[in-house]
């Protein structure tokens, strides 16, 4: 049976309207889904106090593009999720990411820092600042959900705390190059085997950390490793052949270890 022309036109119009409605609903849903979360007030306060504990000094960062991210933070702004370097959970508004790398920060950091009130952190990047010979605080254990930790180029000093072994979800750990200028002294010291249970690591960068031992044998169990940097760590003895067999390893740096063989 042939459909009348007027009915055909109406059907086509109906289909167009239906399609338009679907697009509008879809767009509205997408907008709602990606609406910026609002941060928790106590975490906003913690971030602000963390910022206030440092002096901003452009000479503390070595990267040419460094800039003081924290100076763009506004205490009177209601939503700290919009601050530079801050990432929040879309559902809860909890701060899950803090990136103040190359942020021109100078000052000490200890376990009393309000940084450690951000209990939901998953990513923490403090690289390329000057923490004035602070030790890595033992309060780092309060971030069991961390998957990314970068403390490189930040003038930390002393023994890497055993509490770092609590961070069993880490996929990236970078403690490299914690000295400045022409100094050959390695500021950070790492003693076996405090990293042995960080078996989810994909990127482990310890360049210029004073290990002063044979290559840790537990590394052969890190099957997820993609990149391993052990440059200038005062390693000695024979390099374990098993590490070459790691299934995902693509980058391996062990130069400047004069007493390392194999």
Domain that holds residue 194: 39-261
Q: What is the pLDDT of residue 192?
A: 74
| Burial of 205 per CB tally in 10 Å (0-12, 13-18, 19+) | buried
Q: What is the pLDDT of residue 37?
A: 81
Q: What is the pLDDT of residue 144?
A: 96
Q: Is 2 inside any structural domain?
A: no
Residue 239 sits at the vertex; the CA angle it makes with 235 and 189, to the nearest 5 degrees, is 25
Buried-exposed string 112-144: b where 16+ CB fall within 10 A, e elsewhere: ebbbbbbebbbbbbbbbbbbbebbbbebbbbbe
Q: What is the pLDDT of residue 262?
A: 82
Q: Is 31 inside any structural domain?
A: no
**Low-confidence stretches of the chain (pLDDT beneath 50):** 1-34
Q: Is 9 inside any structural domain?
A: no
Separation of alpha carbons 151 and 26, rounded Å: 42
N-term to C-term CA, the chain: 85
Q: What is the pLDDT of residue 154?
A: 95
Q: Which residues contact 65 (CB under 8 A, 6 or more apart)?
A: 102
Q: Is 127 inside any structural domain?
A: yes
* Number of separate domains in the chain: 1
Q: Is 253 inside any structural domain?
A: yes
Q: What is the pLDDT of residue 4?
A: 45
Separation of alpha carbons 205 and 65, rounded Å: 22
**What helix, strand, coil percent values describe the chain, rounded to 5?**
30, 15, 55
Q: What is the pLDDT of residue 178?
A: 84
Residue 149 has what DSSP assignment?
E
Q: What is the CATH number of the domain that holds 199?
A: 3.80.10.10
Provide the 3-class DSSP secondary structure of residue 34: coil
Q: Which two tokens stand for residue 180?
A: 């400045």
Q: Is 5 inside any structural domain?
A: no
Q: What is the pLDDT of residue 11?
A: 36
Q: Is 30 inside any structural domain?
A: no
Q: Which residues contact 253 (CB under 8 A, 6 or more apart)?
A: 207, 228, 229, 230, 231
Q: What is the pLDDT of residue 97?
A: 99
Q: Is 202 inside any structural domain?
A: yes
pLDDT in tens, 109-147: 999 999 999 999 999 999 999 999 999 999 999 999 999
Q: What is the pLDDT of residue 184?
A: 59
């Amino acid at each position: 049976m042939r459909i009348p022309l007027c009915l055909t036109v109406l059907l086509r119009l109906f289909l167009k309207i239906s399609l338009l409605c679907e697009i509008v609903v879809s767009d509205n849903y997408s907008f709602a889904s990606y609406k910026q979360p609002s941060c928790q007030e106590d975490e906003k306060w913690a971030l602000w106090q963390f910022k206030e504990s440092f002096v901003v000094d452009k000479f503390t960062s070595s990267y040419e593009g460094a800039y003081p991210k924290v100076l763009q933070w506004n205490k009177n702004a209601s939503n700290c999720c919009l601050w530079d370097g801050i990432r929040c959970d879309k559902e809860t508004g909890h701060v899950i990411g803090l990136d103040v790398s190359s942020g021109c920060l100078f000052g000490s950091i200890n376990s009393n820092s309000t940084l450690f009130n951000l209990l939901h952190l998953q990513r923490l990047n403090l690289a390329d600042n000057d923490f004035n010979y602070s030790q890595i605080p033992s309060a780092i254990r309060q971030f069991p959900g961390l998957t990314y930790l970068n403390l490189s180029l930040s003038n930390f000093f002393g023994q890497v705390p055993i509490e770092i072994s609590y961070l069993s979800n880490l996929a990236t750990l970078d403690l490299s190059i914690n000295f400045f200028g022409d100094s050959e002294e390695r500021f950070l010291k790492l003693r076996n085997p405090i990293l042995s249970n960080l078996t989810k690591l994909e990127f482990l960068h310890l360049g210029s950390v004073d290990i002063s031992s044979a290559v840790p044998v537990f590394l052969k169990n890190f099957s997820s490793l993609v990149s391993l940097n052990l440059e200038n760590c005062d390693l000695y003895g024979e390099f374990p052949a098993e590490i070459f067999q790691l299934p995902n390893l693509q980058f391996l740096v062990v130069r400047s270890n004069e007493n390392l063989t194999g």
